Structure 1
Amino acid sequence: MRKILALAAGLAALAASGCAAPAPPRAAAVPPAPVPATLPAPAGGRPVGTTVVYLKDTSRRDPWNPDAEARELKVTLWYPAARRDGPRAPYMSPRESELTLKGLRAAGVPADMLHRTWTNAVAGAVPAGRRLPLVVLSPGFTKPVSTLTSLAEDLAARGYVVAGIDHPYENHATTLPGGRIAECLACDVDSDPGFGTGLVQGRAADVSFVLDRLPAAWRGAGRIDRERIAMVGQSIGGAAALAAMVKDPRVRAGVDLDGTTYARISGGGLPRPFMFVGNPRHTPGGADNSWDRDWRLLTGWKRWLVVSGAEHGSFTDAPLLAGALGLTPAPGTLPAARAAEITRTYVAAFLDRHLRSRPQPLLDGPSPRYAEVAFCPDACHGS
């Protein structure tokens, strides 16, 4: 997404230089101002609530901020709610929006545009339901967990509690207690050797701490079935899902959405369910061979799906926000609504199968309804 935004800025500068010659003012075309995005409604039928809790792990120092004596985490919860009415939660705070857009080099976009994005979750709604499975979400590097809001709301509407973790100093802006803003200190060292491995190990530790502390930190935690926990992540968050499963047996199943993996699986293999979902770069034998390596070590139920027309950001809210950021998708790119539908549908099918023991024929092989989705490794070699 960063490359797309940089290209958009470059095109804008090029257009400005091309208009340097005098011209009548009435001949200049004024592009329409971007308008806030609205996330698609969840497919599940339940009302959705959301809230934020803050956790502090005093047993370890923050890996990125030498001045912080403890690791602090911001956890956004989405869950089935008792009522549908109430104020909708903002996509992110005004300051988070400003710093995120600055980090993405989004020129010409109002600083509060992502704050004004419409969500479907009611802020502070009373939780509803009993024995609800828990899904932990982890976002891509430099991205806040809010970039997975569409998926989170959809899962909550289907009856899951979703705990989205913002890993401070790993994205452009995370709000901490007292209004403090943690900016991306890890961005200064992301080219260091071993960076990816260290990053996913830290995130795995974050996940385990959240699972330890969430029951005491959130009033609705008593509704969670702690025997049914899964993790889903995008990009480095997907790699962290695998790392968390290697480290913590409480995570029963995991999904990696287009993330190069770094965690080392022991020679005995990982017997719990896992699913890769990615763009054509992750075709077996393709540009990223980390999935080829790990596929052989996944000894339980497993799937490897490649989505034609998808890009790295297709499994996030990025395509849904493109219009608000004044961007036009590249020709041949999977449309935003379709990308969201595929992501939601396959992730929900995986979770329903492995946390609720519900048969999911969609995961047994190719579907004419979702012809973009190829089952690998054998069915998509060379695609």
Structure 2
Amino acid sequence: MSKFALRGALATAVTLLLLATPATAATVTPKLPRPTGDHAVGTTTLHLIDTSRPDPWVPSEKSRQLMVSLWYPARSNHGRTAPYMTAEESALLLKGQGIEGVPPDILSRTRTNAVVGARPTGQRRSLPLVVLSPGFTAPRSSLTALAEDLASKGYVVAGVDHTYESFGTTFPDGHTMTCVACQAPDYGPKTTRVRAADVSFVLDRLTGPRPAWRHAGLIDPSRIAMAGHSIGGNSATLAMLNDPRIDAGVNMDGAFHIPIPERGLSRPFMLLGEPKAHVPTGADATWKRDWPRLTGWKRWFTVKGADHASFTDYPLITDQLGLDPGDRLPGARSLEITRTYVGTFLDRTLRHRQRPFPRYPEITSWP
């Protein structure tokens, strides 16, 4: 996938906001659909500082700082729900896509379902952990609907903002980091390596001896997966190769910038993408190239009618503004498929529940 493929795909989704009248844009409040699991969902935010390495994008910063959102099964859904993103992050995302004529905070108005600081439920070391990595230039919030759904089904989910790789990442003191990596001439391989290191550090801080979350004892460190969209999904294979703690991986529509080595990757992996880019005869040959080197249990699915942004929250948000999705699969449907297939894969690989993948008419299995 070309350097700015994700940026172009997200721009297509977000640009639909321009079709709304100013009155519509000013009054509509998008809302994420309710999670489908049995649990209420809680959330908290962590500011993590890795003092063992300088920031790879801004070497003058001697530590790598990350913002991480945690979603988890909670005892109650009573309380204040979490903001989707900050107003400044919304404004920077719209500006980064060249979008004008809509309220700059419109994306930050999106209503979520997770309750801030809700008391978690679960026994010690009973909850599998899933790390989510967003696409290039996208914030961690772009996968919130998937994260909430997994948490409602009994997973702890860690969504990572990879600092300087999104249009905007706001830190607790209120300052917002912007996209330094956007100026890199060949961002793919470096971003892949950076994200693999980021994920290992997050695992250290969630499952190590001095965890950053006070309820981290609920996490089962023997059941960990990584899933990501675009370059976040691409990074899952390198993260797994570098870190044996990650038991399974999901790549949602991301080209592989660093090939899987000939020795292969023997842990479970799933590919889920749009058909035009990743079928064996498509424009992106990296899935076909690396498929034989995925030597563990694996699945390859494409979704008819999906585009690159279909595996994020953005089509759902723009659809709620009453806009015509054209030939694209409606956002609610693509989210349902994404939640179902990612959830089924994780249940099979981390919980060893051998239920089949549901049959959707949009789904084709390869090869």
Partner of 1:292: 288
Partner of 2:300: 304
Partner of 1:102: 95
Q: Distance in 2 between matches of 1:158 and 1:11?
A: 36
Which of 186, 190, 193 does residue 198 from structure 1 map onto? 190
Shift of residue 6, structure 1, vs aligned partner: 7.9
Partner of 1:82: 75
2:54 maps to amino acid: R
Shift in alpha-carbon separation, 1:6–1:176, aligned structure 2, 3 A:
closer
Structure label with greater radius of gyration: 1
Shift of residue 179, structure 1, vs aligned partner: 1.6
Q: Distance in 2 between matches of 1:242 and 1:258?
A: 13
CA contact (8 A) 1:5 1:106 kept: no
**% identical equivalent positions:** 55
CA contact (8 A) 2:25 2:103 kept: no
Shift of residue 9, structure 1, vs aligned partner: 8.3
CA contact (8 A) 1:6 1:105 kept: no
CA contact (8 A) 2:230 2:254 kept: yes
Residues 19-43 of structure 1 show CA distances to partners (whole Å, capped at 9, x for unaligned) of xxxxxxxxxx987335120000011
CA contact (8 A) 2:17 2:25 kept: no
Partner of 1:375: 365
Q: Distance in 2 between matches of 1:237 and 1:156?
A: 19
Gaps of at least 5 residues in structure 1 are 13-28, 378-383
Partner of 2:58: 65
Number of residue equivalences: 352
Gaps of at least 5 residues in structure 2 are 1-8
Computed over aligned residues only, the root mean square deviation of the Cα atoms, in angstroms, reads 1.9
CA contact (8 A) 1:136 1:164 kept: yes
Shift of residue 342, structure 1, vs aligned partner: 0.3
Q: Distance in 2 between matches of 1:121 and 1:8?
A: 27
* 1:207 equivalenced with 2:199 (yes/no): yes
More deviation in 135-144 or 57-66?
Answer: 57-66
2:175 maps to amino acid: R
Shift in alpha-carbon separation, 1:48–1:6, aligned structure 2, 3 A:
closer
Shift of residue 264, structure 1, vs aligned partner: 2.9
Residues 135-160 of structure 1 show CA distances to partners (whole Å, capped at 9, x for unaligned) of 00000000001000000000000000
Partner of 2:232: 237
CA contact (8 A) 1:56 1:72 kept: yes
CA contact (8 A) 2:49 2:63 kept: yes
CA contact (8 A) 1:78 1:162 kept: yes
CA contact (8 A) 1:241 1:256 kept: yes
CA contact (8 A) 2:22 2:101 kept: no
Partner of 1:25: none
Residues 54-87 of structure 1 show CA distances to partners (whole Å, capped at 9, x for unaligned) of 1111111111113311111111000001211001
Shift in alpha-carbon separation, 1:44–1:321, aligned structure 2, 3 A:
same
Shift in alpha-carbon separation, 1:361–1:8, aligned structure 2, 3 A:
closer
Structure 2 length as normaliser, TM-score?
Answer: 0.91
Shift in alpha-carbon separation, 1:265–1:349, aligned structure 2, 3 A:
same
1:317 maps to amino acid: D
CA contact (8 A) 2:265 2:294 kept: yes
Partner of 1:276: 271
CA contact (8 A) 1:277 1:307 kept: yes
CA contact (8 A) 1:75 1:163 kept: yes
Shift of residue 324, structure 1, vs aligned partner: 5.9
CA contact (8 A) 2:269 2:299 kept: yes
Q: Distance in 2 between matches of 1:144 and 1:325?
A: 21
Q: Could you say what secondary structure the match of 1:114 adopts?
A: helix
CA contact (8 A) 1:196 1:262 kept: yes
Which of 295, 316, 321 does residue 320 from structure 1 map onto? 316
Q: Distance in 2 between matches of 1:289 and 1:43?
A: 35
CA contact (8 A) 1:306 1:373 kept: yes
Shift in alpha-carbon separation, 1:336–1:269, aligned structure 2, 3 A:
same
CA contact (8 A) 2:14 2:318 kept: no
Q: Distance in 2 between matches of 1:250 and 1:30?
A: 49
1:89 maps to amino acid: A
Partner of 1:17: none
* 1:248 equivalenced with 2:243 (yes/no): yes
* 1:4 equivalenced with 2:19 (yes/no): no
CA contact (8 A) 2:253 2:308 kept: yes
CA contact (8 A) 1:254 1:275 kept: yes
Partner of 1:23: none
CA contact (8 A) 2:236 2:249 kept: yes
CA contact (8 A) 2:303 2:362 kept: yes
Q: Distance in 2 between matches of 1:32 and 1:227?
A: 48
Q: Distance in 2 between matches of 1:177 and 1:207?
A: 20
CA contact (8 A) 1:113 1:324 kept: no
Which of 137, 155, 167 does residue 172 from structure 1 map onto? 167
Shift of residue 226, structure 1, vs aligned partner: 0.3
Partner of 2:5: none
